[in-house]
Structure 1
Amino acid sequence: MDNRKILQDFPKVELGFSPTPVVKLTNLSRHLGGPEILMKRDDLTGLALGGNKTRKLEYILGDALAKGCDTVVTAGAQQSNHCRQTAAAAAKLNMSCHLLLGGDKPDEATGNLLLDTLFGAQLHYCKDNRKGEDIPRLIEDLKSQGRKPYVIPYGGSNELGAIGFVEAGLELATQIDTDTLSQVFFASSSGGTHAGLMIARSILEHQYMLTGIQIDKAESSAGEFKQSVLALANSTSDALNLSQVFNQEDVILDDGYLGAGYGILNEREKSAIQLLAKTEGILLDPVYTGRAFAAMLDKIGSGELVSGQQVLFWHTGGAPSVFAYADKLL
């Protein structure tokens, strides 16, 4: 049975390269002396130096084009991978792009911010409002100019974005024997990747533990983020006409590695980035994958993950932001 048939009713535009490879981190696994470590290389999706948001945007922008929209609007931090890939996708599809970014305009554009500019996005600096709080006002302005705007939620995490990762989870099962996996780790921030992988795992009836490492401290209070992942998983399951209903126990979210907060690099994350670069020649980013990978390494070091097991790290991309953190990584 081709499980991907459940996705065929949703318009999709091809933006990246798939399937992305799964590789063995042989040198690192030997160095650590723990489980065999695999990596799903979604940093190689192709669009704008790669990243997981390409998968989400293929369905989100498929919907935008189907609705006749000519402008996309989204929001994020200044080093947002989502904003960078949205800007590139808009350029590829001949759409205008407006990005609402947190903070003030910097003196110099580096990393993802530089790429946003090269892709022709119009940048709006919104101080503390990095999650789209100012979007409604911009939408009214664009409509008054005769534009047909399409709003992409923070991180591209709605049902359409999550469907992109349902497809990704199904893709993984065509590449490796997932029955041998003990655990899959990934950075969990806006929820779409997490929700989509939960659904794919359920469809395939796989038993591996799916562990999201929480990235953003602002979402940590009272389990709000966990609840939002759960709600998105269930609404996406419903959109796909699946019978699966998830509960709180299905959302595995580790909030023990938040450090000083979002985008603040600590020594554990710095060491993880350096170790992977030196052993495998693979780059992690300082905000998302660096934090999540450091968490996985900590669990290996503590003996929670041991020799004889097999784990997979889902690399969601973000390498361009390395250049914006040069002074903190060296």
Structure 2
Amino acid sequence: MAEIPVDLARFDRVPLGNWPTPLEDCPRLSKALGGPRILVKRDDVNGLGVGGNKLRKLEFLLGAALADGADTIVTFGGVQTNHGRQTAAACARLGLRCELVLTRQVTRLPGSRSLTAPRDGEAYERSGNVALDLLFGARVHVCDDGAHAEATYQRIVEELSSAGRKVVPLPIGGSDGVGVLGYLAAAIELRDQLAKVAKTNRIVCAIGSAGTAAGLALGTALLDWPVIVDAASVSNTVPECSADIERLVSDAAALLGVRAPRLDHVRVTDRALGDGYGLPTPVVWDAIRLFGRTEGITLDPVYTGKAAAALIDAVRTGDIPATETVVFVHTGGLPGLFGYAPELIEEAQG
């Protein structure tokens, strides 16, 4: 079994999650699909702030921020951002002030159909992640678009810096070279778990800001682990996602002092993307119901629902052979499901 040729212990890190997260066999889901053996890596149940994949990134990001003397964190996202909610919870635990700059605008792809997006209304703006942001003590700034968000960020930094506070911004999704280290660590953890369970052919995950996919891509490459990483886009085109993975892998490799590896084992698909970020399609709701009714596993309509829909389609079209063993990385997102309450109630009865 290959050992990873890097030392993560030299990076500043704060403990936030419960590791390792469970790796669950899903026989009823596998039977329903009539194809490969499906296992689910439960990064949705890793503890702090209702859990989710961002905690792995935040351990390194906030470790670096604290080492830099930060007392205030500012980060960004959509109104129902999971990253914002987990950042708020982590800041509460660490005694840091948290400022969340959130944007109402939902990205539609060129040529998308006219759909009613749940980007406003009581459920979307006052429940789910937003309610938890407030519960964890974050100051929430809801903006209309990117320009408004940028102006708000500049105002926050100026005001707090003038008051003598040390402000450190975190990128959207916690995705930069430092954040990638979280899922490099996860790749090591997953490889060790699977050594006791099964030989795995493929890892499936969602890709938005790309930090999770990049960490898995880098980790599996450095481990010389012969596994495919399938990344299902939830927001951008395949070329954009691929470029993001390559950029983040390169940045993280530079931090580690190693050469950026080839990423021939990484596949990006937009087969479940639909009309853009935050816009679930019928197949996404189908996937959410299937996971719920076969395994009691809750997906969300923004990230894991789309990744699951891509997995299901790949199995049913034969792109993932029935002989494979597949790990589905559950990146969390449960609170965001309730931001889609009107659709959720209707779709859950389907």
Q: TM-score range by the shorter chain?
A: over 0.9
SS of the aligned residue for 1:283 comes to coil
Deviates more, 1:254-263 or 1:131-140: 131-140
| Aligned residue type for 2:210 | G
Cα deviation 1:119-140 (Å, max 9, x = unaligned): 1100111112299634334222
Counting only pairs closer than 5 Å after superposition, residues 161-180 of structure 1 correspond to structure 2 as 161-177=179-195, 180=199
Cα drift, residue 234 of structure 1: 1.0
CA separation of 1:241 and 1:288: change in aligned 2, threshold 3 A:
same
Q: What does residue 232 of structure 2 align with?
A: 213
Q: Against the structure 1 CA distance between its residues 315 and 110, is the aligned structure 2 distance closer, same or farther, given a 3 Å change threshold? A: same
Q: CA 1:304–1:202 in 2, change beyond 3 Å: closer, same or farther?
A: same
Q: Secondary structure at the match of 1:286?
A: coil
Residues 232 and 270 in structure 2, CA contact (< 8 A), matched pair in contact too: yes
Counterpart Cα distance in 2 of 1:50 and 1:4: 29
Task: Give RMSD over aligned pairs.
Answer: 2.0
How far is the alpha carbon of 1:4 from its aligned partner?
8.1
Aligned to 2:243: 227
* 1:222-265 Cα shifts (integer Å, max 9, x gaps): x2332122011011011111234336x45421123211211111
TM (normalized to structure 2)? 0.88
**In the alignment, is the contact (CA less than 8 A) between 1:179 and 1:207 conserved in 2?**
no
Matched, 1:15 2:16: yes
After TM superposition, give the deviation of residue 109 of structure 1 in Å. 1.0
In 1, are the aligned partners of 2:222 and 2:261 still within 8 Å (CA)? no
Task: State the partner residue of 1:46.
Answer: 47
Q: Which residue of 2 aligns with 1:116?
A: 133
Q: Structure 2: how far apart are the matches of 1:237 and 1:93?
A: 28
Q: TM-score, normalised by structure 1?
A: 0.93
- Alpha-carbon distance change, 244 to 265 in structure 1, aligned in 2, over 3 angstroms: closer
Instruction: Name the SS for the 1:190 alignment partner.
Output: coil
- Which stretches in structure 1 are left out of the alignment for 5+ residues? none
Look up the match of 1:138: 156
Write out aligned runs for 1:179-194 (5 A): 180-194=199-213
Would you say the 8 A contact 2:241–2:268 is kept in 1? Answer: no
CA distance in 1, matches of 2:148, 2:303: 16
Tell me if structure 1 keeps the 8 A contact 2:103–2:149.
no
Q: Deviations over 1:134-157 (max 9, x none)?
A: 433422222112111110001000
Answer whether contact 1:22 1:175 (CA < 8 A) is retained. Answer: yes
Alpha-carbon distance in structure 2 between the residues aligned to 1:321 and 1:240 = 34
Q: Percent identity among equivalent residues?
A: 41
Displacement after TM superposition at 1:179 (Å): 7.5
What displacement does 1:303 show?
2.1
The correspondence for 1:246, drawn from 262, 271, 275, is: 262
Question: Does residue 306 of structure 2 align to residue 291 of structure 1?
Answer: yes
Out of 275, 278, 284, the residue aligned to residue 290 of structure 2 is: 275
Secondary structure, aligned partner of 1:313: strand
Match of 2:168 in 1: 150
SS in 2 for 1:174: helix
Q: Cα–Cα, structure 1 residues 103 and 244, in superposed 2: closer, same or farther, change >3 Å?
A: closer
For 1:51 and 1:37, the matched residues in 2 are separated by 20
More moved, 139-148 vs 38-47: 139-148
Give 1:307 deviation, angstroms.
Answer: 2.5
Q: CA deviation at 1:106?
A: 5.7
C-alpha distance 69-153 of structure 1, shift in aligned 2 (>3 A)? same
Taking the aligned partners of 2:301 and 2:47, their CA distance within structure 1 comes to: 20
Unmatched runs of 5 consecutive residues or more in structure 2: 106-119
Show the counterpart of 2:277: 262
Q: How far does residue 103 in structure 1 lie from its aligned partner after superposition?
A: 1.9
- Structure 1 consecutive aligned stretches of length 4 or more whose deviation exceeds 4 Å: 104-108
Whichever residue aligns with residue 199 of structure 1, its letter is: L
* Distance change (3 Å), C-alpha of 1:309 and 1:6: same
Q: How far does the alpha carbon of each residue in 1:185-241 deviate from its partner, in whole angstroms, 9 at most, with x for none?
A: 10001011111111110111111110110111xx328x2332122011011011111
Secondary structure, aligned partner of 1:40: strand
Return closer, same or farther for 1:24/1:127 CA change in 2, 3 Å cut-off: same
Q: Distance in 2 between matches of 1:130 and 1:201?
A: 38
- What SS does structure 2 have at the residue aligned with 1:72? strand
Distance 2:94 2:44 in 1: 21
